[in-house]
Amino acid sequence: MKTVNDIDFKGKTALIRVDFNVPLDEELNVTDDTRIRAAKPTILKIMEDGGSCVLMSHLGRPKNRENEFSLKHIISPLSDILGIQVKFIDDCVGVDVEKVVSNLQSGEILLLENLRYHPEETQGDVAFAEKLSKFGDVYVNDAFGTAHRAHASTAVIADFFPENKCFGLLLASEIESVKKVLENNEKPVTAIIGGAKVSSKITIIENILDKIDHLIIGGGMAFTFIKAQGGAIGDSLVEEDKQDLALEILEKAKQKGVSVHLPVDAVIADSFSATANTKISAINNIPDGWMGLDAGPETNDLFSEVIDKSKTILWNGPVGVFEMEKFAEGTKSLGLSIAKATKNGAFSLVGGGDSVSAVQQFNLTDKVSYVSTGGGAMLEMLEGKTLPGIKALS
């Protein structure tokens, strides 16, 4: 894997696909700068070599160049994080952009306007990719969050740099982390799969069964498994049409010698609300009119025991509605167990939007080995798919 560390950028302009698709509040201030910070090592390596950088990214899903999706809103935090005043231009192709890029000096950074202001970006348009390719001597992809998209700036553009293309440090480390879980792992390997639906995680579970020793299933999706086994789940979330699939997964796991751990109790509530009445119930004996919204204390202990013995841990998806304080304990307990195992030498990879939010909410970001910046991309890698943005560099 050729990375920016293998190239001397002195006197060269690096055209870098970054992922600055960050959340903004109503005043258009950045509320989470994780993805901007994640791009910093790649950019600084090029600057230290004596190169210059042209950064390109998308933001949101604009329909008609709406102001709220302009990348000008991130110039200030980006400049602060890099410690360099970043230049900005209000388009990403055209004569004006060419002029500014041609005048870029070593040590300068230019951010182009939102790529998705042009529909050709998401269409993977070759002519659009060629126009973008004129803005750099070397193409660097450091946008793991969009590596699963065959867009002009993530996959097509690489063809215009047959010799001069490489991985950014973030993209390289994201790939290495997933490989560390799936290929170069130390056993026992535990995968924790949570979230609402079995259907959205089925391909991941099927792909990782050959590579893991323990599978913890939590969150809303657990109730489909419990009901499939004959349990009473009250008004809990269930995918009625996926019960046979749940039983198939349990059977496959058994055949492959994978221990599956399902919740044994739950915090149940009489409504989906932060002010609901709650009590603890056995997971397979939830009364009608009540729903399971978090893992119960016995389950937390059970999951913690499994995690304690693990050497490699993958966490994707929460085990409760952690956004509400009443139902946050299970996910928090899980995060703390993973942090403890990591401290004791395990490798832990956290990915998928909600798990990342949970890790941030409980201040555990620095206590796990790696937090992935790319939800969809990481999921597709775990499913065993080849991502277009990665394939284009290989």
List residues forming the annotated binding site.
19-21, 35, 58-61, 116, 149, 201, 292, 323, 352-355
The candidate with the shortest Cα–Cα distance to 71, out of 88, 94, 86, 54, is 88
Distance (Å, rounded) from C-alpha 98 to C-alpha 132? 10
| Token pair 């991130």: residue | 74
Burial 282-320 (b: 16+ CB within 10 A, else e): bbbebeeebbbbbbbeebbebbbebbeebbbbbbbbbbb
Among residues 216, 10, 50, 21, the alpha carbon closest in space to that of 116 is found at 21
Tell me how far apart the alpha carbons of residues 383 and 394 are, in angstroms, rounded to a whole number: 19
User: Which DSSP letter does residue 27 get?
Assistant: T
Instruction: Kindly provide the residue ranges of all beta strands, DSSP E only, lying in 29-186, ordered along the sequence.
Output: 52-56, 87-89, 109-112, 138-141, 165-167
Q: Kindly report the backbone phi and psi dihedral angles of residue 133, in degrees, each rounded to the nearest multiple of 5, phi listed first.
A: -65, -20
| Closest by CA position to 145, among listed 254, 236, 282, 35 | 35
- Which of 109, 113, 104, 114 is closest to 78 using CA atoms? 109
Q: Which residues have C-beta within 8 Å of that of residue 8, sequence separation ≥ 6?
A: 49
| Whole-number Å distance between alpha carbons of 267 and 329 | 9
DSSP 8-state symbol, 23: -
The C-alpha atoms of residue 350 and residue 331 are separated, in whole angstroms, by 13
52 strand-pairing partners: 13
- Binding residue positions for substrate: 19-21, 35, 58-61, 116, 149
Residues annotated as catalytic are 35, 197, 353, 376
- The type of residue at 225 is F
